[in-house]
Each structure stands twice: as C-alpha cells, then as structure tokens.
Amino acid sequence: MSAALAPGTRHGDHYKWVALTNTTLGVVMATIDASITLIAMPDIFRGIGLDPLAAGNSFYLLWMLLGFLVVTSVLVVNFGRLGDMFGRVRLYNLGFALYTLFSLALAVCWLHGRAGALFLVVMRVFQGVGAAFIMANSAAILTDAFPPDQRGTALGINNIAGISGTFIGLVLGGVLAPIDWRLVFLISVPFGVVGTAWAYWKLEERGVRRPGSIDWLGNLTFALGLVAVMIGITYGIEPAGTSTMGWSSPRVLVTLGGGTALLAAFAIIERRAENPMFRLPLFRIRAFTAGSFSTLLAGIARGGLMFMLVIWLQGIWLPEHGYDFAATPLWAGIYMLPLTFGFLVAGPLSGHLSDRFGARPFASGGMVIQLVSFALLLAVPTNFSYPLFAALLFLNGVGSGCFAAPNRAGVMNSLPQAHRGVGGGMNSTFQNAAQVLSIGIFFSLMILGLSARLPTALFHGLVAHGVPHARAAELSVLPPVSVLFAAFLGDNPMRHLLGAGVLAHLPPARAAVLVGRGFFPHLIAPAFRAGLQRAFAFAMVACAGAAATSWLRGGRPAPAAAGTLEAEVAAGA
C-alpha cells in the first residue's frame, strides 16, 4: 500500500490504531520474556533437575539470563536494515511467527540435567531472534502509520508498554513458575498465535523500501565483535583462578580485545561499503546522535538496577521480614511494582506532551529525576521502611518513563523515512547492549564491595556459631558472586554453602540459627551496602551524562527532504 495515504482519512485513522495495538502486543511479549526467567529461574532449574550453583553449571545460569539480550542486541540493527530493504511489516510478521514457535518449543522441553539446560539456552537464543525482528521494525511501522504530531504519543505508549513488560515479567514469573515452570514460556503462545495472525491480516507496508545488496562483511564483523564483547562482559563477573572476578583472565582479555578490534574494523568497513548495514551518516543528524547516545547512557544506568533490587529484596530485606527464601522471588516481583506504576503514569503522558513541546525537556528532565531517585536510594538503610522504598521506586519509574517515550519519538522523528528501520534498529542496539554492559558493571561494583568486607564477616560469623575454623576459612574465600547468585535464585545461601555434612555435625540450635532467615541477611548487609553504594553512585553519573547528552539534541528536527541520504541527513542535521 502506498505510503501517501493521508493519516487524517478515516481509513488512515483506523489503521494507525491497528498498528499501535499490534506492535505494542509484540513488544510487550518480547520484553516480558526478557525478564520472566529472572524470577522463574529457581523453578526452571528445579524442574530440569540441575543445580545452577554447582561447579561448571554457571554457564547455563548466565546464558539463560543474558542469551536473549545478547542475540537481540546483535541482530536488531541487521533486521532493521533488512526491513528497509524488503519491507518492515514482512519481517515484523516473520518475527512474530518465530517468536511464537520457539516459545512453544521452550514450553515442551522434555530433557533434564545439563542437556535440558542447554536446550533451553539454545531455544532462548532463537526466541531472541524472533524478538529482534519485532523490536527492529515495530517503531518504524508506527512512525510510518502516525503523523508527526502524534508519533510521540504512539511511540510513548509502545515504548513504555514494552519497558513495563520487563517488570510485568517479574510478577508473572513469580506467579506461574511455582505452579509449573513451563507456564512461563507457554503463556506467550496463545497471544503469539493471535498476534501473528492479526499482523499478517491487518498490517500494511507503508514505508519506503530502499533496495540494495546485503553488507555481508559488515554484518559478520559487527555480529562477531558485539557477541565477543558481550561474552567477555558476561565472563568478567565470574571468578577466575584465585581472583573474585575474571576481568584479568586471558580468556576475558582476548575476548574483549578481539571484539573491540572487530568493531573497529566494522566501522572502517561501513565507511567504504556501497550499501552499509550501519548508516554512519545518520550520526550527522544531531537529534538522532544525541538521542541514541542518551539511550545508551540511560540503559547503562537502568539495566543493572533490576538485578540489584532483586538481590536486595531476596537476599536481605524479605528474609529479615519473615519471608522464607523459597518465597522471595514472587514477593520481590510484587514489591517492585511501584517501579512499573511510575513507568505507566509518566510514559504515555510525557510522550503526548512531547508532541507539543518537543522531546528535550522531558527526556533530560526524566534523567534528572532518575538521578535524584538514585541519590535518595543511597541514603536508604539496608533494612528500610517499605513505604519510603516504594516511593523512591515510583520516582525512579517516573524518571525513566519521562525519558523513554519522548527520547524514542525524538529519535524516530529525526530519521529520513527510507532509513527508519535501520535507524530504529541502531537505537535499539544501543538500548539492548547497554543492558548487558550495565549488568556487568553493576555486578562488578557490587562484587568489589563484597570482596572488601564479606570474607572477614563470613569467617567470624561461622566460627562464632560452631563451624570449624578450617571449614570457615575455606568458605570465607569463596567468590562473592556465588553468594549473590544463591540469594538471587531464592536459595538459602548458608544451607547451600555449608551443605548437609557440616550442618549434621553442629548442635541443632546452632545449625538452626545458621540456616535461619536472619543470619545471612545480617551477615551480608554491611558488605552489600558498600557494593550498592558504588553501583548507585555509578548510576548517578550515567544519569547525569544521559541528561546532558539528551539536552544537546536541540529543538524539533526539521522534516527530512526527499532524495539522497546526504540530502535527507542535511535537512535533519
């Protein structure tokens, strides 16, 4: 269908709402599954009969969490470029179908042990391929369907619904996984079937196709380089040899160095390619560049927050307030709901207002609000009053919501029509890659804080309760990341560390204290606080950078001219 159909006509008005509802359903599904395993992980591993904390099994734990994010980060630009070439709706529909198929495959896993874990990791990767098709093209489809004075509202609803899906996944995982772990994947299937059929039936190609050859060399160097960097970040937070983290290990250094070299080669290739995958001239558009780099900094500030909050709640606050460790994953998701409410309140409203007043005041202001929320969280004691904590989570969500929708609309409005797919994909790459980078940074800062205090506290605490000196010394030098993962998985860390052999040789009263709800939270709280302060201070710096970068976008971008990319870029610069 021609892109010239006037948005003011009745048919045009009807179609834009069809596009909004369908793409919002697709994005919500994709983002829910990006986080639903975060809370459901304990039940998934129990269901397949594998201890993720046992030696050699951390690979499955990390890649079950991060594999989905890694593959979407790598592929979203490629699929945005392919959408510009072959049709955004066509590739979006394909993504919806693939996503539904591999959600079903995850739900029917019949394997156990490491074979079952490997199957789930591989299926999650292919599920991420479908999600990348959806994420790469949904914003471009909406931008094609809505007139410029309504795009902020439409993209705001779509973007905030997508980000809120990340937090909705936490609650759904906590509710469904205890019933049956397969439900966390099966719940996507009926919505996927309906959404796929609806997309094939109703969505129309309204974008301007830009035929061209595929940049195979650019695709290969970008994919391999980004995957290598993300693998290096993933293994950097794992212990290596006698070190608490692996940042200095040869494997991590080679992976990060090789990935960086490939990305540098990719930049050179793209400057010379006839039909490049990554449209570097788009960075000459001021609003696009400022919006994309503020997306990166905002993602770095926010991406690891969820992990820190989950560990804070599951490992310390909930057990101290009478919750059994096994019940903490569900309640952590529930107690984090104010963050979602903040998104839902601020996102659509700021997106609507940005249509009238521009993206800059709302995007930069949202980052300032988020910076203030991190500063206030720094002042909250580890054993906090929940109403105060909930208010700060709500404030943090408001800040993120104020930023996300106007920033996304500002980025998409600045792009020439023929390059909205690749431009939207480039922006999504910044967002998704920032999440993985943020997780690596947050965990590293947390582990540094734990390493300074936890070994001594753990040794003296165990000895005081009757654990032999030799065994206490052995446990006190275990990598802090194992303690974090145990708390994250809703497992009693002390029961896991001590094992049945040590507990059986202790007086029953002392053993009960060690594995009780209060010992571990009280023991870890000071060390955890030190790591949390480092992580939140870093988040404040990233928020300040995002606010400043966003302000540099200028006012409303001028409409792009029709013609060559150079002419269109010049009009938007």
pLDDT along the chain (573 residues), means of 10: 41 77 84 77 85 72 78 79 81 90 92 91 90 83 82 74 74 82 89 88 77 74 82 76 77 90 87 75 86 90 81 86 80 85 83 81 92 92 92 93 85 78 76 80 80 82 84 78 68 73 80 82 83 88 93 65 49 49
Tell me the three state secondary structure of residue 240.
Answer: strand
Burial zone of 2 (CB within 10 Å; 0-12 exposed, 13-18 middle, 19+ buried): exposed
118 and 236 assigned to the same domain: no
C-alpha pair distances (Å), 485 with each of 307, 446, 500? 10, 12, 20
68 and 146 assigned to the same domain: yes
54 and 180 assigned to the same domain: yes
239 and 196 assigned to the same domain: no
- Full domain range(s) for residue 255: 215-276
123 and 257 assigned to the same domain: no
Whole-model pTM over 0.85: no
Q: Which residue, among 403, 452, 456, 454, has the nearest Cα to 431 in the 3D structure?
A: 403
CATH number of the domain within which 12 lies: 1.20.1250.20
CA separation for the pair 269, 132 (Å, rounded)? 23
pLDDT for res 100:
92
pLDDT for res 6:
43
C-alpha pair distances (Å), 531 with each of 148, 277, 300, 307, 455? 45, 40, 17, 13, 14
pLDDT for res 516:
81
Q: Which of 183, 212, 241 is the last residue of a domain?
A: 212
The two structure tokens encoding residue 91: 């590739």
21 and 138 assigned to the same domain: yes
128 and 250 assigned to the same domain: no
CA separation for the pair 198, 206 (Å, rounded)? 17
Neighbours of 381 (CB within 10 A): 10
246 and 166 assigned to the same domain: no
pLDDT for res 135:
81
53 and 118 assigned to the same domain: yes
174 and 80 assigned to the same domain: yes
The two structure tokens encoding residue 262: 């490939």
Does residue 373 fall inside a structural domain? no
204 and 230 assigned to the same domain: no
Contacts of 12 (CB under 8 A, 6+ apart): 5, 6
Does residue 102 fall inside a structural domain? yes
pLDDT for res 7:
43
Does residue 491 fall inside a structural domain? yes
74 and 223 assigned to the same domain: no
Does residue 378 fall inside a structural domain? no
Does residue 530 fall inside a structural domain? no
Does residue 283 fall inside a structural domain? no
Does residue 337 fall inside a structural domain? no
| Owner of token pair 């400057």 | 271
Does residue 288 fall inside a structural domain? no
Instruction: Look at the chain and report how many structural domains it folds into.
Output: 3
Ramachandran angles phi, psi of 240, nearest 5°: -140, 115
Span between the terminal Cα atoms of the chain, in Å = 30
